[in-house]
Amino acid sequence: MYPIVLALHMVGIAFFGGMVLMTDMRLLGWGMRKRSVADVVNQFRIAKRWGLLLIVTCGILLAGSKAEEYYYNAFFRTKLILLAIVALQELVFYRTVYANPASLDRTPSTPGNAKMAAAFSLLLWTAIACCGRGIGYIEPPLDKIHAQLHFMKEIADVAHPNQRHSGRAE
C-alpha cells in the first residue's frame, strides 16, 4: 500500500507543482504574457486545490506510516516548517494578490507584491520538494526508536532459531 500512496503523492506533486509554477511564472511576467493574470490564476485555482488535497492526504498517510522514523528526520522537520511558512505566505498575500487577480490586470505592470508572492512561492515549493526528496536519504536512529526492538528480535531469531522469544524474562 505504501508504494501506491507514494506514487499518488508524486502524481499530486507533479500536478499541483506544474500549476503553481505556471501561475508564478505568469505573476513574475516570465511566461504566458498573452494571458491575463486573472485567467491564469482563476483557471488553475480549482485544479490546484484538488492537487493540494491529494498531496496533503497522501502526505499524512505517508508520515503516519513511518511517524516514529520521520520524527528524527531533519528533512521531514524542515519540510513541515516550510509548509507552515507557505500557509503564512498565503495569509499575507491572499487579499492583495490571490483573492482578486483581475485587479492585477488593471495595472500597467504586475505590482511588486504579486511578484514577491510568486518569487516566495517558487522558492518555498522548490525547498519543500527538495526536503521531500531528502527524507528518504536519512536512516532513522535505530537506538532511539521502537523499531530497534523488532530488529534485535529478528537478529535473535536468526542466531537462535529454535528458541522462542516472548519479549519477557523467563
- Domain spans of the chain, in order of start: 2-138, 140-170
Query: Which pLDDT does position 151 carry in this prediction?
Result: 59
Which is more confidently placed, 132 or 104?
132
Q: What mean pLDDT do residues 153-169 have?
A: 62
The length of the chain is: 170
> Does residue 10 register a pLDDT over 60?
yes
Query: Which pLDDT does position 149 carry in this prediction?
Result: 57
> Quick check: 26 and 105 in contact, CB under 8 A?
no
> Quick check: 48 and 16 in contact, CB under 8 A?
yes
Query: Which pLDDT does position 119 carry in this prediction?
Result: 95
> Quick check: 78 and 131 in contact, CB under 8 A?
yes
Query: Which pLDDT does position 31 carry in this prediction?
Result: 85
Query: Which pLDDT does position 169 carry in this prediction?
Result: 47
Which is more confidently placed, 147 or 111?
111
> Quick check: 124 and 80 in contact, CB under 8 A?
no
Residue with cell string 500512496 = 5
Q: List, in sequence order, the alpha helices (H) in the chain.
A: 2-28, 37-65, 67-71, 74-93, 102-105, 112-135, 147-159
Which is more confidently placed, 9 or 168?
9
Confidence of residue 70 (pLDDT cuts 50, 70, 90): confident
Query: Which pLDDT does position 108 carry in this prediction?
Result: 84
Query: Which pLDDT does position 58 carry in this prediction?
Result: 96
> Does residue 48 register a pLDDT over 50?
yes
Query: Which pLDDT does position 170 carry in this prediction?
Result: 44
For CA atoms 89, 95, 101, 105, the dihedral sign is: negative
Closest listed residue to residue 29, CA positions, set 39, 37, 20, 17? 37
Provide the mean pLDDT of the chain: 85
The mean-pLDDT minimum among 57-61, 91-95, 110-114, 148-152 falls in 148-152
Query: Which pLDDT does position 125 carry in this prediction?
Result: 95
